[in-house]
């Protein structure tokens, strides 16, 4: 069950933006780099991903062609800082093969499809789940699809705005139905939620320092 309202969502956004400022997400130079980062960031923090991305850039490997040709064992060493590197190598290779086989190596052909089709196609790739797929749709393809993560659920649950059992799709629909259909708003809001979750709404929360400290008393 979700008890929050569209008004409460915009209040959350405004409080976070006022306190934390713009997050400038996704930190990538190209859409393809963003896709690679979306896989590497699974189950790790962004600082580790940056180290792995830097390794790939230094070796001029951030292209579909180069990542397709490099042996898995060598690629694994370059992305080692991101953790779970043997697993992530396979997921990267799965993504590359998918783009090559389905779209002749051209991600723009994928990104020009309808949102629902892009999402479905990405979810067909082994190792890409809902959060990763939706991140690629929003930050890579630049299409309005709100990304939900553990922090989203934690923050809204702790403030009594959703029930514990609310699932990914429930939360996503709630944001989509109650916010303007705006790509930049979706990007910034998700980034602010991640920042808040990492810095304040931890497993042991720092409520007294959080921009949302008094939120629960407002709605």
Triad 17, 167, 178: Cα angle to 5°: 45
Q: Are 167 and 147 in contact (CB under 8 A)?
A: no
181 and 121 in a common domain: no
CA atoms within 13 Å, Cβ hemisphere of 115: 12
**80 located within any domain:** yes
77 and 58 in a common domain: yes
| 61 φ/ψ angles, rounded to the nearest 5 degrees | -105, 0
163 and 182 in a common domain: yes
What 8-state DSSP symbol labels residue 26? S
**Averaged in consecutive runs of 10 residues, what is the pLDDT profile of the chain (219 residues)?**
68 96 95 98 96 98 97 98 98 98 98 98 98 98 97 93 91 94 98 97 95 70
**136 located within any domain:** yes
Q: Are 92 and 65 in contact (CB under 8 A)?
A: no
pLDDT on residue 217: 44
Structure-token match 């940056």, residue found: 50
Tell me which of 91, 110, 140 is where a domain ends.
140
What 8-state DSSP symbol labels residue 214? T
**1 located within any domain:** no
Residue 94, both tokens:
């799965």
Give me the number of domains the chain comprises.
Answer: 2
pLDDT on residue 218: 43
Give this prediction's pTM: 0.94
**94 located within any domain:** yes
Tell me which of 140, 169, 190 is where a domain ends.
140
Tell me which of 105, 140, 175 is where a domain ends.
140
Q: Supply the range of the domain harboring residue 127.
A: 31-140
């Amino acid at each position: 069950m979700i008890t929050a309202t569209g008004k409460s969502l915009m209040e959350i956004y405004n409080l976070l933006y006022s306190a934390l400022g713009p997050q400038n997400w996704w930190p990538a130079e190209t859409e393809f780099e963003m896709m690679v980062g979306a896989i590497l960031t699974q189950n790790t923090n962004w600082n580790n991903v940056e180290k792995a991305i830097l390794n790939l850039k230094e070796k001029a490997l951030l292209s579909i062609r180069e990542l397709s040709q490099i042996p898995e064992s060598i690629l694994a060493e370059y992305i080692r800082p991101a953790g779970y590197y043997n697993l992530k190598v396979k997921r990267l290779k799965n993504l590359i093969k998918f783009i090559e086989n389905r779209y002749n190596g051209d991600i723009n052909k994928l990104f020009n499809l309808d949102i629902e089709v892009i999402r479905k196609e990405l979810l067909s790739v082994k190792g890409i789940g809902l959060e990763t797929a939706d991140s690629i749709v929003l930050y890579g393809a630049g299409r309005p699809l709100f990304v939900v993560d553990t922090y989203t659920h934690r923050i809204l649950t702790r403030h009594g705005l959703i029930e514990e059992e609310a699932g990914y799709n429930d939360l996503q629909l709630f944001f989509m139905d109650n916010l303007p259909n705006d790509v930049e708003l979706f990007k910034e809001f998700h980034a602010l939620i991640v920042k808040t979750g990492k810095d304040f709404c931890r497993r042991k929360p720092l409520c007294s320092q959080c921009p949302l400290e008094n939120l629960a008393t407002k709605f």
